[in-house]
């Protein structure tokens, strides 16, 4: 779910557009269901669409890339083992039969992309965030990634409110300086409103 104003400039495929009961399900949908990666189903559309987007932009995706990329999708029922087991079947380096350890036991370092053995790293005790910023060099995604490509986008809504999409925190202050800050809402995705 996301506000419609957030969709400016996006190409959208819905979960129903990918596959449905009438026209048949997509292999990603089928595999997730057959491998018991869906329980209440609340997270399943998001996981399938994230995975679809990954495979579409990188058909030669690896198991590690899949695991790293799905970190922002949260499942509160099934646990991540069956979900990863299902989706890793679409990786180019997937073995025929895979049994995974729990995701919590993998200790994949976001800095190196390798398993962390807690040695030779000053941050190993606490760091699990990739702090490296993208400088648009050495990046295969620079063609489609819109970071830095657009400045503030502003849309005047029918009820008089102003929607602004920013790329950087300082752009928020540019708008507040101009508009005043008596009443505003910060929206990140659609789950954090304040
Ligand atoms: Fe229920 Fe993932 S299956 S939240």
Would you say residue 130 has pLDDT above 50? no
Give the model confidence (pLDDT) of 68-111 as tens digits: 888 888 898 888 899 999 999 999 988 766 555 555 555 666 66
Mutate to test the pocket of ligand 1, among 48, 51, 72, 77 (most ligand atoms within 8 A of CB): 77
Q: Long-range contacts made by residues 49-52, C-beta under 8 angstroms, separation at least 24?
A: 49/13, 49/15, 49/18, 51/87, 51/90, 52/13, 52/18, 52/26, 52/28
Cβ–ligand 1 distance for 38 under 6 Å, the answer: yes
Distance 32 CA to ligand 1 centre (A): 12
Nearest Cα residue to atom 2 of ligand 1: 75
Q: Is the CB of 50 under 6 A from ligand 1?
A: no
Residue given tokens 């949260």 in the structure block: 74
Confidence of residue 3 (pLDDT cuts 50, 70, 90): confident
Over range 114-140, report the average pLDDT.
Answer: 56
Domains annotated for the chain, with CATH where assigned, are 12-89 (1.10.150.120), 151-180 (no CATH)
Mean pLDDT of 52-73: 90
When mean pLDDT is compared across 4-13, 53-62, 112-121, 150-159, the lowest value belongs to 112-121
Name the H helices within the chain.
15-18, 27-34, 44-57, 63-69, 80-87, 169-179
State how far the Cα of 99 lies from the Cα of 101, in Å rounded to an integer.
7
Q: What is the pLDDT of residue 128?
A: 44
* CA–CA distances in Å: residue 87 to residues 8, 90, 100, 110, 125: 30, 6, 12, 20, 29
177 CA distance to ligand 1 centroid (A)? 42
Cα–ligand 1 centroid distance for 36 (angstroms): 11
Lowest average pLDDT, out of 23-32, 149-158, 169-178, goes to 149-158
Q: 44-57 and 80-87 are packed helices; what angle lies between their axes, rounded to 10 degrees?
A: 30
Answer whether 75 contacts ligand 1 (Cβ < 6 A): yes
Please indicate whether residue 29, judged by its CB atom, sits closer than 6 Å to ligand 1. Answer: no
- Mean pLDDT score of the chain, rounded to an integer? 79
- Whole-number Å distance, alpha carbon 24 to ligand 1 midpoint, is 22
Q: Cα 33 vs. chain centroid, distance in angstroms?
A: 20
Residue 177 neighbours by CB distance under 10 Å: 9
| Average pLDDT value for residue range 26-46 | 94
Q: Which residues have CB under 8 Å from 189's CB, separation 6+?
A: 2
């Amino acid at each position: 779910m996301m506000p419609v104003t957030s969709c400016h400039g996006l190409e959208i495929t819905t979960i129903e557009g990918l596959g449905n009961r009438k026209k048949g399900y997509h292999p990603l949908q089928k595999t997730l269901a057959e491998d018991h990666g869906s329980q209440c189903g609340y997270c399943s559309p998001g996981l399938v669409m994230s995975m679809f987007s990954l495979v579409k932009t990188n058909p030669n995706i690896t198991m590690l890339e899949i695991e790293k990329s799905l970190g922002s999708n949260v499942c509160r029922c099934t646990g991540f083992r069956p979900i990863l087991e299902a989706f890793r079947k679409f990786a180019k380096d997937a073995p025929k039969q895979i049994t995974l350890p729990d995701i919590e036991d993998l200790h994949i370092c976001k800095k190196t992309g390798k398993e962390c053995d807690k040695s030779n790293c000053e941050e190993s005790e606490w760091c699990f965030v990739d702090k490296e910023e993208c400088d648009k060099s050495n990046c295969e995604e620079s063609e489609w990634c819109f970071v830095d490509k657009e400045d503030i986008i502003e849309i005047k809504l029918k009820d008089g409110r102003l929607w602004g999409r920013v790329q950087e925190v300082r752009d928020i202050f540019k708008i507040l300086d101009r508009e005043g800050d008596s009443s505003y809402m910060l929206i990140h995705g659609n789950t954090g409103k304040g």
